[in-house]
Structure 1
């Protein structure tokens, strides 16, 4: 029996490999989910665990080949795989390009020519070229990028729509046949993992070795667990330490702020690269951020990855124009609109387009933040540390009157600082200001530039583009064969009023995607999902909270209802209830 470790970079391929595992009897498949460096970390102990071969895909397979001594089989991108994705992207109205290594682009270019698809292909030879290539394409007006996992991730960081070329059964069957051939050739070549790797994996320090191109050639278990190199290498502070080490050829030691914690970083130059040691410093923890900074009320993001705003309607084109215009300024921007219609997307878009991508995007969830949290966050040390960052007040109109006044006084005293502000609210904010429900001076301070995003029911022409974007995002997640939607099914979606706006549309598309059993979403499936949605709305309308019980019983009813409305997502439910996740978990358990 051949024992194979399968490391797949996305969830859809994971599900397909599980199905294939039921169809083979001479290969024992252990399937794990991991992309690039995560995949390498999973693969490191494969030989010790008795695996004869590793199966992976694309860049993940290439990196694993450099880290292990047992055979690594690459699930090749077949012509069928490329054709499926090109058929999916054909429905997009945006300018699209294929970017990847030659194993993707050469076959894709041929298929594009044969089928007369107006999609350009760009071949890269190494991972570091991806961001540069995508940046150039973005300047040329491209909005959709098709490629492997690393290409799609880089595209989303730059504000482009990334479409992953997924693998079909044909490619998997060929890979399994290659496993059989490799096993016959390399079954006697298994070796023990070297002692130094075991020692490093047991070390309390997070350790990585990088080459001259700043790509990881080794990482220990602590680093893989606590840190992520793709995020670290984009940090200006980490870049500076690496550059100083490379220029001087001498060891450097610094204390840096990473992922809301302080870390001692030691860099040791080597002939072919560099060793980096990361050790968490608990002594200074909380000096800058306060004891509640890791709560759900305030979120630090090293960068914002998001789905770009899209649509053909005149109203959304006006919004996109405002985003482009306001991103050239450092003035505060106030974004208003109904719940679920893309205010967060607009905020992230401005952040991505501004020259602040190396600074964190800090979100304050105003509906749950407490007064002491806000004061601890907005101190002199914070304004100095994140002078060029972006602070986003989400649902700022949910702050009570006292906190509105406090926030105004803080911002007024710090108005000469460089920190950039964004704020979002409901679409009735002007009325609240006029009636005195919202602090007039705070609104004037944060709203020199304004964006109003109209509800989806007022821009129905945008639904088609949004549907195609959501399908492209779901394809690599679930891996089924859906590549589009029938016209009559699209008309059903277009005629619906969407009280939950774009967020509701996204959830419905995911449900349609999962329930479809052909290449296209059919009208019948849409009708079935809509009937279920209508019934759910009726049930919610006639299931009020029963207040005849004890306080504890009423509390459990409220928690259950909020959990149900948030799709059983405990983090979102905790935010709405104004409690942390551990408190929610305890109340559910009691």
Structure 2
């Protein structure tokens, strides 16, 4: 049974509705008295109480329509209602006007014209207009005002005669019939919506609908589950995607923490439908560069990095090569020691080549295994990101099997749109000659090369790098530090930097955190460098034993490491090894 709420603006209509209520058995009619804003407040509360339609009249009905999502049936002012009131005021000798919302004045104006009655009609759109309109009419000599409740109340406050256009039973019966018809249509629509809702909720894709104002209007069950508590409409990438989606379908990969999503956007009239698909559902992606557990694959939708800095001739040559190679789409092989900025060079190439809509995919070759490489191909991952840039980081760490498998991918024509960037720690030609690296793979990816020299060979870049790192650390930590003393800078310049630029950055961060003055002093640099040297020695001592040598060579490595751990104390080392000092000395000869 239909459940309808009737909100009436005046007492007479309330009593008439109660009388009709007794005669209606196919509608549950609840009646409330409330005019304009009172009526809107009642309607808003009723919206969540299971009502199917709301029935009201005049300006109150108009305001309720703007405030609620339920169908609102207007008790129309009929010709009978207008004729009844005009008959009533026809005998007035005073000047009369009809004032009200359009759902009253339009019908009244037509009848006045048909009957050739000299009664002007004035339409208002908001309640606040009534007082000013009536005051103006009074100044023009009008004394009688015909209208709805708000008009009549305001007229009486101004000393005018207010005549209310009341609704007769005919209008109420017409409104109930309209309510029945609307309910039938509304019920069918609800069934259709429920069906479509079920279909969308069964969809494995998350589906979200946004209007042109970038506000979300719908999300299916998967969408609400995946993005619960997130306000996607505030994400700049989502806003931009909605703005860019017009006639053509857009496909973008966007990072929505903690996952990456391939989003297909389609424009539908005044809305944009977004279909979300996880780019790699079986993998976790991360941005934290200090994460202990590295993933084999990282996907970045933008390249945020520190530009390569330096004034040396060597680094200027590198920057020039990056500019030259960024024009085309040829593979580029970047060579350099650990920590020397090979990934910065790759990111710089990506940034210059791409419009930032295509992903930057980093493959960590030192942790990539055969199963992961197989998954990438089986999931058609590379085809999904056909317009992206693939950066094969530390490719020299791949074993022979993975080199051959990777070579098959590189040679496959269906991946020919991919752009390859590669990095390795050493010159690969020697490995190719000795057969420890796939020659075909090397020659396919190594047509263009960039060699980044170690920091110890371009010491004139250190001063520039130090100031760059200090400026970067300010927003991260906040500190008094504004610079470095010249003698402290000289200590840094003279250091050999086995860890290259990355080690310099770590040292500056330590100095930045421990310095309590405006300038980094030489004493501070000495302390930090000594600490790093000790850490390096400890790391060397704890490094794994190379088992590729002879038994005698392996034994010597073990003895050397135990000696280092015991501070070169031969007595302690011999005791720990279970041998005497003379045997220890003889084995070390």
TM-score (norm 2): 0.49
Greater C-alpha Rg: 2
TM-score (norm 1): 0.49
